[in-house]
Amino acid sequence: MLSAREVIATDPEILGDTPVFRSTRVAVQTLFDYLETSTLDDFLEGFPSVSREQAEAVMKGFYEGEC
């Protein structure tokens, strides 16, 4: 399984250094915003450039205090 550090990227040229899913312009915060009112499946449907493995790695990293 991927780690959150492998999945998250920051770059001043992409959303002003906001943490995003690597190789996308999808902010990591968007995942957590979705999870407040919806499901992971809904997030993945809305953001097909993010894989389930990437989203699960971020959630796991957040839960374990990695990110």
Q: What domains does the chain contain, in order, with CATH numbers?
A: 4-63 (1.10.10.10)
pLDDT at site 47: 98
CA 61 to CA 15: how far, in whole Å? 22
Question: Tell me: the pLDDT tens digits for 1-55?
Answer: 899 999 999 999 999 999 999 999 999 999 999 999 999 999 999 999 999 999 9
Whose CA is closest to 31, among 16, 14, 45? 45
Judged on CB neighbours under 10 Å (0-12, 13-18, 19+), 27 is: middle
**Residue 66: pLDDT band with limits 50, 70, 90:** confident
pLDDT at site 59: 97
CA angle in degrees (0–180, nearest 5) for 56-58-63: 95
| 62: CB partners within 8 A, 6+ apart | 4, 32
pLDDT at site 28: 98
